[in-house]
Amino acid sequence: MAKLYLQRHLKSQWNVDDRFAGWTNAPLSKEGVDMAKDVANRIINEKIDVGFTSPLARNMQSVIEIYKNFEKYPFFSHLDGGKMQEWGNFDKIADNCIQFFVTEKLNERYYGELQGLNKAETKNKYGQEQVLLWRTSYKDAPPGGESGIDVYNRTVPFYKEFVEKQLMQGKNILIVSSHHPLRSIIKYIEKIKDDDMIKVEIPFAGLVTYEFDESMNVISKN
């Protein structure tokens, strides 16, 4: 059996400022950093073999802040050309660290013309219902940005190639990422209908855990 941990990043400064962050490199807020210990306590006793994250600052910084509470230290290795790069002596130091592979496939949804805008002001301009669709629906895309379908089409093939295969080998995987890539993975795992995706929400620092049997059937979710 294998476990998958889907961890949404800690709260960033742009989250505090209520802005559409998208692909920007907003750092974590003080509130976000303060969340790290509670997040770490949820998984500190779990055996995690390998991690994945995106190059966005709030995702990588979340990994670092969470692992400050462990006796292990995260090592980052960028996924280049679809190949997982193993570091020369990594196996010998694996007891003291965990390797995180970094990929743009796990970046947040690109918000196009909305990126950087204040969410409350955007709701006043376009209406709350329209902004909700741009934020959480599967088919609607913000002007010049990605739809949920677009995020799914870059995230899920990556998940199948690099994460699912390792889960099938019995490895426990931690993914620290942004809201929409994690929602895409949840949609794939749970076979959620397109129209029901608007109901799928993960709070800042939220954790979703799946346990799989040898045939990759979900046997528990927390």
pLDDT digits (tens, 9 = 90+) for 165-208: 999 999 999 999 999 999 999 999 999 999 999 889 999 999 99
Set 31, 78, 108, 201: catalytic member? 108
pLDDT of residue 85: 55
Would you say 39 and 205 are in contact if contact means Cβ atoms under 8 Å apart?
yes
pLDDT of residue 188: 98
Active site residue 180: no
Dihedral, 119, 40, 64, 80 alpha carbons, nearest 10? -90
Would you say 48 and 39 are in contact if contact means Cβ atoms under 8 Å apart?
no
Active site residue 9: yes
Residue type, 6: L
Tell me phi and psi for residue 64, to 5 degrees.
-60, -45
Would you say 120 and 18 are in contact if contact means Cβ atoms under 8 Å apart?
yes
Reference 180, options 209, 145, 211, 143; nearest CA is 145
Cα 148 to Cα 39, 145, 196, 218: the distances in Å are 27, 10, 12, 23
- Two tokens, residue 61: 């910084």
Alpha helix (H) residue ranges in 96-173: 119-126, 128-136, 148-158, 165-168
Count Cβ atoms below 10 Å from residue 103 Cβ, excluding itself: 20
pLDDT digits (tens, 9 = 90+) for 36-89: 999 999 998 899 999 999 999 999 999 999 999 987 788 888 876 555 555 445
Give the pairing of strands 73-78 and 97-102: parallel
pLDDT of residue 135: 85
Cα 48 to Cα 68, 120, 187, 219: the distances in Å are 15, 39, 23, 18
| Domains of the chain, each with CATH number or no CATH | 2-221 (3.40.50.1240)
Dihedral, 41, 3, 61, 162 alpha carbons, nearest 10? 170
